[in-house]
Amino acid sequence: MFMNWIQVQVTKRSVIAERIVYLELEKVDGLALPTFQPGAHIDMRIPNSNLVRQYSMVNDPVDTQRYVFAIQKELHSRGGSDYIYNECKVGQSVWISPPKNRFQLVDTAPHHILIAGGIGITPLLSMANYLHRQNQSFILHYSTRSRNRSAFYDELSECAFAKQVRFYHDDYQGHIAFNLRMALENIDLKSHVYVCGPATLIRAVLAGAKVVGLPIEQVHYEYFSTQGLATSAQTQPNKAFKLFLARSHKEVLVEADETIVQALKKEDIDVLVSCQEGICGTCVTQVLEGEVDHRDHYLHAEEKASHRLMTVCCSRAKGDYLVIDR
């Protein structure tokens, strides 16, 4: 049905915390799933819609018979998490992409500091399982609003590496609130830090790393939302530009008040999008000519500098035109 996509079905489902559902997915033909590395995620097509959403695998990558997820129902869901929480039952079939990973562990690090905020625990739990199996040094800091909103609390309290897990709850009920100094104080400057959660937490960890002298390239992070993120600096008002589609041999005018995706839609050209905020990478497109005004939080600095990739949901042309591979 979809090129390179994999049909899977829900084999286990349960609610494991407030607004958080646990899912296990297996291939419908019973065969092994593609291998993945800790920190990886997949794209999921939401049935009966044109929505695509990204979810991180929770399980140890050694297990290729299933993918495990913990998915939070967002209070202002645009359809993805609401469908999964309310309608995705055992036996439901869905289509997912092969695993992708831009949040990778550095195996050579002498010590790993994992910092999770809320549902950001999902890729970090996969990392913790892997690091424990590899007998690598690590500690997991897990901060949530309350005990009731902590996915995998019981499992982490009783697992083989429970002594390496630290819980923090904002409501102070039985636990102290998270303090970044606890995680970074007396840090070995050869350590690597991995943080996933709200943008405010990620910003705080990046700032804290500078304070303690940890090289910024040793801090790895993944955004789940742009909430709390500063938008890319904009020195001039938006202006219209021409977009040339190399394979389609079409020319499209992108007006100052619209995105590339919106301009293409007016021409009945659909682009697969998800977050529409420049954080998920679903709409990344190859640029053949022109200079890009990058406004995303997905591409790495070297990718942006090359001007050969762009997120068409939010980025624009710096000049009068762009040529893209479509």
Fill in the amino acid letter for 164. Q
CATH number of residue 291's parent domain: 3.10.20.30
* pLDDT in 10s for each residue of the chain, 326 residues: 455 899 999 999 999 999 999 999 999 999 999 999 999 999 999 988 878 899 999 999 999 999 999 999 987 667 788 889 988 999 999 999 999 998 999 999 999 999 999 999 999 999 999 999 999 999 999 999 888 999 999 999 999 999 999 998 877 655 556 778 778 888 999 999 999 998 888 888 988 999 899 999 999 998 765 555 555 545 568 999 999 999 999 999 999 999 999 999 999 988 888 778 888 778 889 999 999 999 988 888 888 999 999 999 999 999 999 999 99
Question: Model-level pTM?
Answer: 0.80
**Whether residues 117 and 194 fall in one domain:** yes
Residue found under tokens 């939302």: 225
Q: Which residues of 157-173 are buried (b: 16+ CB within 10 A; e: fewer)?
A: eebeeeebbbbbbeeee
**Whether residues 195 and 130 fall in one domain:** yes
> Where in the sequence is the domain holding 132, given as residue range(s)?
112-223
Instruction: Report yes or no on 103 lying in a domain.
Output: no
Question: Residue 224 class from Cβ within 10 Å (0-12 exposed, 13-18 middle, 19+ buried)?
Answer: buried
C-alpha to C-alpha distance for 284 and 122, rounded to whole angstroms: 24
Q: What contacts 119, CB < 8 A, 6 or more positions away?
A: 20, 70, 71, 72, 151, 197, 224
**Whether residues 126 and 192 fall in one domain:** yes
C-alpha to C-alpha distance for 223 and 244, rounded to whole angstroms: 31
Instruction: Report yes or no on 101 lying in a domain.
Output: no
**Whether residues 128 and 218 fall in one domain:** yes
**Whether residues 88 and 129 fall in one domain:** no
Residue found under tokens 């050869």: 190
Write phi, then psi, for 201 (nearest 5 degrees). Answer: -65, -45
**Whether residues 59 and 154 fall in one domain:** no
**Whether residues 163 and 187 fall in one domain:** yes
116: which 2 tokens? Answer: 């999770």
